[in-house]
Structure 1
Amino acid sequence: MTIGPAADRVNPRSAINVVLIAPSRALGISGVSTYLTALGLRLAACGDRVSLVELRPSAIGGSSSQSSRGFRRCQVGYSSPAAAEGLVDSLVRDGDDVVVHSHADALLPFTSSLARRWHAALLHTVHYQEPNTVQLLNEHQPAVIAVSEAIARDLRAAGYQGTIDVLHHFAEDRWLGKRHLSRAAASLRQHAEISPTAPVLLFAGRANSPVKGADLLVRSIPEVQDRVPDVIFAFAGPYWLPPDVQRIADSHAAAVRLLGFLSPVALHAAYATASVVAVPSRYEPFGLVALEAQAMGTPVVASRVGGLPEVVHPSLGRLLPTDASGSVAPRVLADALGEMLKRLRSNPAVREDLVAWIAENFNPADHIARLGAIYRRENLRSRQHRRHIWGAPGQLISMKVSEARAATWAGEQPHHEPVVRFDADQAAALAREHAAVFATSSAQRDEIASEAASRAWAGRERFRGVHGSLESWMFGIVRNVAREMKRREGREQRLWSSLWGAARLRTEEMEARVVQIEDVRGVFARLPAREQTVLYLRYWKDLSYDEISRRTGIRAATCRQLARRGLIRLGRYL
């Protein structure tokens, strides 16, 4: 396998209809949403027709859209994959050269079906490698784009043999070194009660996720303060730490600020006012926080893991060695942060140098040019194969392309026999495929699929092939299981939010919120030991109840009850 450059030899600049597809949960992530929206607007400015499709499961279905300068953003709710295909058909006209670009592994079966339906080129960007990523790539054979060389290496190590184009994210030029955020930055310092001259170490991201390494930064606080006594540690994003780590933060509470969830403008104002941004992640496929921080002229101290070495400036930033688990030693992190703070005081010109480096190496125009070349290369390949594929434009070929071609060469029309009997193995596979549409994690997908397969087996006598295909029957079961699970989790989340404060913080609520968190930590220790253990593993370690059961020896159903009782007790104590 080779790592392929963009197809620079494909020069024709004819307009292409580009359909970007991502699930609603991905577009709920600020970084992915911002990147795809900026990408769509820039492609449209080059003359292409661009649609960004946000897929969200819905019992009713329907769609809505917004258009701007040739760029259309659509929200599509669907009750089944077939219904979704019908809703997005309006994006394509007869005779269009179409490129379908997927941005989620779980959507590859759907986007592959769309590409066959429209006789379009199929591309897929791997933002994060999941356990089944290579299997899906080999099955559907899209043109693959990796967001970093690290992702490309991981795909190769997992056995992927196809060509991979590596294409980094770009830095939006509206943020590059802009000082118009100075007023917002000053306001942020004032609201967070940070002195205008105090150095700030910023952590931006999910501090409640172990992979982001916020606990490593907290463990380094005492040693950093020994080197720079007036330093302030600011955390932007969801914040919760295990009790032993939180005790360290509590003992240095005067130096810790919780900024909560920030809008894109407020986040970049935080980058602008920070002295250094810390990214001590245990793994990062690319490192969008590092890119955004340096675009604002703020140096980064990061772990040498994943795609971070490709993003962090080799001399103006710092990349730190990690152990076998990807963790940076707190003392090493403290040394690097203290050294960086002292260097900035003696050499403030570092900010201008960083902005110039980002503008040169992560330029939006270069990114769009390379991506456009990839689109045209794959569109040309798609044109060459169209004559081999049976079916008029717009007609769905509900089989593998290789099977359709074989039937065409034999002079036959492709044909599928309808499913008329219940097949347990096929039902389980369909449950897993449909569960991926609703799930937000692989653990949740497995839980939904397992429950749906069990219900299907229990009710197999009610299945009649003449009343509908097994696929649609299984989709209804999976949808009902996912809906019940979401309602149950919603009830837990409302209680959890009232205890731990997952909502956005307003500045005037900051002091009251800190008191509330202190109260929660105090009463947490009053819970029975088993409830403490289950709550810690579920909400800090982010383990499923099955994983908790294997670790503790407690049945999964009992773990759910213990978690529920623990949350109820916390509510009563507070």
Structure 2
Amino acid sequence: MHIMMLCLHTSPLAQPGSGDAGGMNVYVRQLSLHLAALGHSVEIVTAASGQDTELAPRVSVRHLGLTNHPGQALSKEELPRLLPTISGLLSTAESLSGRQTELIHSHYWLSGLVGLTLAQQWQLPLVHSMHTMAKVKNQHRAAGQSAEPTRRALGEERIVAAADRLIANTAAEAAQLAQLYGGCQDQIAVVPPGVDLETFRPPVSKINAAEDSALQIVFAGRLQRLKGPHLLLGALAQLRSTRPELRFQLTVIGSQSGKQHYDLPALAKELGVGEQVRFLEPLPPSSLAQQFAAADVVAMPSSSESFGLVALEAQACGTPVLATNVGGLSQAVIDGETGYLVNGLSESDWAAALEKIHLLGAAGRAAMGRAGVQHAGRHSWQHTAERTIEIYRSLPGATEDKPQNLG
């Protein structure tokens, strides 16, 4: 098959953890590469500027060039007004691959709205992956976090009503699509994401630090209130007061995302934990895997996550995970076995969780790490791609001859 992947607001070539780039970038890139490995071809379309390129044999990336700087993407706030323009460009442009598109797979609501227009015009099936949903994010919105706009929720309702198939990461996400958006049961398919098991893997040998050493904590992701790294800073400040004999060191990997002012280095200094925290820019996968493998625990204090690929990647490296008990994280982490789920979004909740994982000791954390490697090993991108192709082929007209269009 030849599949068009719409990934408008961010590019699969972008560095995860910077700007709006995150788990969705990893998902689109890895799914496309593994679909190609199965013999299919994929054309990924992004609104960013840049040179059209072949990511791998049978995987091309097409840049619509709606920004002035190569590699730069439009913000999610800017894109809605440009959706008609994007639809017009795609409906008349030549294909980068020269092949006839047989199916459209859109990612995130902005791409979904363009996908609806193109699918109707070209008479093609539309598969859509939400990745996150406005109504879910608003339900779990933390203090200081902006509400998702009404236009997004309305757009998602349109997509659910018209898409041929919706792919959810978890059964919990499938239930949310049905309950909050009225999705039909036979319209929704659950396909868990995978993890790059060649890059994210346990070290040959992991040297355990002395029991009185500082607990090495890693946070990796976009720096925004939704992801909750400020909760870790507040938790460290509490522990410094209540449990001064326990030592903690936090590494924050990522860059500022969104328009809200979110100065974590200043907050760390204000809370008196500046010496316990270091900040790193987003890292490529191989370097990120090294950070995960060297950590005692990876923390994900998100207020909402459709899945949380970081949790799987960390476990694949043999490191326990602390994660908020929300969304897909409740399935990505096996509570008490590969890490702990935290039932709350207060600094006290996270202080208690960090204290608990510290007191578990090196041997207890190592046992969790071994269980995490086994758990992550059951999630491969090959399996994700195979299941996705099954869904594509189940759609009427997905492989029938169609009039010539973009693909």
| TM-score exceeds 0.5 | yes
d(CA) in 2 for partners of 1:154, 1:81: 28
Letter in 2 for 1:86: T
Whether 1:351 and 2:355 are equivalent positions in the alignment is: no
Q: Aligned partners of 1:220, 1:67: CA distance in 2, in Å?
A: 42
Look up the equivalent residue of 2:333 and give its one-letter code: V
CA deviation after TM superposition for structure 1 residue 381, in Å = 4.8
2:82 is matched with none
CA distance in 1, matches of 2:266, 2:399: 60
The aligned amino acid for 1:23 is: L
Question: For 1:318 and 1:54, how far apart are their aligned partners in 2?
Answer: 37
C-alpha separation between the residues in 2 aligned to 1:80 and 1:332?
44
Does the alignment pair 1:19 with 2:43? no
Residue equivalent to 2:251:
234
Question: Aligned partner of 2:360: which letter?
Answer: R
For residue 254 of structure 1, what is the aligned residue in structure 2? 275
State the distance in 2 between where 1:51 and 1:180 align. 38
Match of 1:84 among 85, 90, 109: 90
What SS does the corresponding residue of 1:349 show, helix, strand or coil?
Answer: helix
Contact 1:44 1:70 in 2 (8 A): yes
Residue deviations 1:45-68 (CA, integer Å, cap 9, x gap): 111122222233x7xxx9622252
Q: Bigger shift: 153-162 or 72-81?
A: 72-81
1:100 aligns with 2:104: yes
Alignment length (residue pairs): 351
Distance in 2, Cα, partners of 1:177 & 1:246: 31
CA shift in 2, pair 1:37/1:229, >3 Å: same
Greater helix percent: which structure? 1
1:64 aligns to what?
52
CA deviation after TM superposition for structure 1 residue 248, in Å: 4.9
Give the match's secondary structure for 2:52.
Answer: strand
Given candidates 140, 161, 186, the residue that maps to 2:162 is 140
Q: Do the aligned residues in 1 keep the contact of 2:10 with 2:25 (CA within 8 Å)? A: no
SS of the aligned residue for 2:46 comes to strand
In 1, distance between residues paired with 2:369 and 2:86?
50
**Contact 1:63–1:87 (CA under 8 A) maintained in structure 2:** no
The aligned amino acid for 2:87 is P
| Stretches of structure 1 lacking an aligned partner (at least 5 in a row) | 1-15, 186-195, 387-391, 397-574
The equivalent residue for 2:304 is: 283
Q: Does 1:338 align with 2:355?
A: yes
Whole-Å separation in 1 of the counterparts to 2:356 and 2:88: 57
* Residue among 168, 171, 196 paired with 2:192: 168
Q: Does residue 219 of structure 1 match 2:234?
A: yes
Rate the CA distance shift 1:159–1:89 in 2: closer, same or farther, 3 A. Answer: same
Partner of 2:149: none
- CA deviations 1:196-244 (Å, max 9, x no partner) are 964211122233x222222221121144341653321221113644799
Query: For the Cα contact (< 8 Å) 1:284–1:307, is it kept in 2?
Result: yes
Question: Residues of 2 paired with 1:174 and 1:228: CA distance?
Answer: 38
Q: Output one character per residue of 1:410-452: Cα deviation in whole Å (capped at 9) or x when no partner.
A: xxxxxxxxxxxxxxxxxxxxxxxxxxxxxxxxxxxxxxxxxxx
Structure 1 residues 49 and 303, CA, compared in 2 at 3 Å: closer, same or farther?
Answer: same
8 Å CA contact 1:17–1:92 kept in 2: the answer is no
Give SS of 1:170's match.
Answer: coil
Larger gyration radius, structure 1 or structure 2 = 1
Q: Between the two structures, name the one with larger relative contact order (CA 8 Å, sep ≥ 6).
A: 2
CA distance in 2, matches of 1:340, 1:395: 55
Q: Contact conserved, 2:173 with 2:328, CA < 8 A, in 1?
A: yes
**Do residues 54 (structure 1) and 46 (structure 2) align?**
yes
CA distance in 1, matches of 2:51, 2:266: 47
SS of the residue aligned with 2:105?
A: strand
Q: 1:75 is aligned with what amino acid?
A: H
- Percent sequence identity is 25
1:269–1:315 Cα change, 3 Å: same
Q: Structure 2 CA distance, aligned partners of 1:122 and 1:22?
A: 14
Q: 1:109–1:302: structure 2 CA closer, same or farther, 3 Å change rule?
A: closer
**Secondary structure in 1 aligned to 2:279?**
strand
Deviation (angstroms), 1:26: 5.3
Question: Which consecutive residues of structure 2, in runs of 5 or more, have no partner in the other structure?
Answer: 15-20, 67-84, 135-152, 257-261
1:86 shift after superposition: 2.8
Separation (CA, whole Å) in 1 of partners of 2:174 and 2:161: 18
Over 3 Å counting, the alpha-carbon distance change for 1:167 and 1:133 in structure 2 is: farther
Query: What is the match of residue 173 of structure 2?
Result: 151
Distance 2:250 2:65 in 1: 41
Distance 1:158 1:349, change over 3 A: closer
Contact 2:103 2:125 (8 Å CA) reproduced: yes
**Residues 1:297 and 2:307 aligned together:** no
1:26-83 per-position Cα deviation (integer Å, ceiling 9, x unaligned): 5441432222222111111111122222233x7xxx9622252222222233665322
2:62 is the counterpart of 1:74: yes
Report the Cα distance in structure 1 between the residues aligned to 2:205 and 2:297, rounded to whole angstroms. 17
Give a deviation string over 1:183-202, Cα, whole Å, max 9, x none.
xx9xxxxxxxxxx9642111
1:368 aligns with 2:396: no
Q: Is the contact between residue 116 and residue 159 of structure 2 (CA under 8 Å) also seen in structure 1?
A: no
Contact 1:279–1:303, Cα closer than 8 Å, also in 2: yes
Q: Which residue, 219, 233, 243 being the options, matches 1:203?
A: 219
Measure the CA separation in 1 of the matches of 2:90 and 2:183. Answer: 31
Shift of 1:371: 0.8
| TM-score w.r.t. length of structure 1 | 0.55
C-alpha change, 1:205 and 1:30, in structure 2 (3 Å) is closer
Aligned to 2:127: 123
| SS at structure 2 position matched to 1:23 | coil
Mapped to 1, the partners of 2:275 and 2:86 lie a distance apart of 53
Q: Secondary structure at the match of 1:137?
A: helix
Q: 2:403 aligns with which of 377, 393, 397?
A: 393
The 1-side partners of 2:162 and 2:238 are apart by 51
One-letter code aligned to 1:77: G
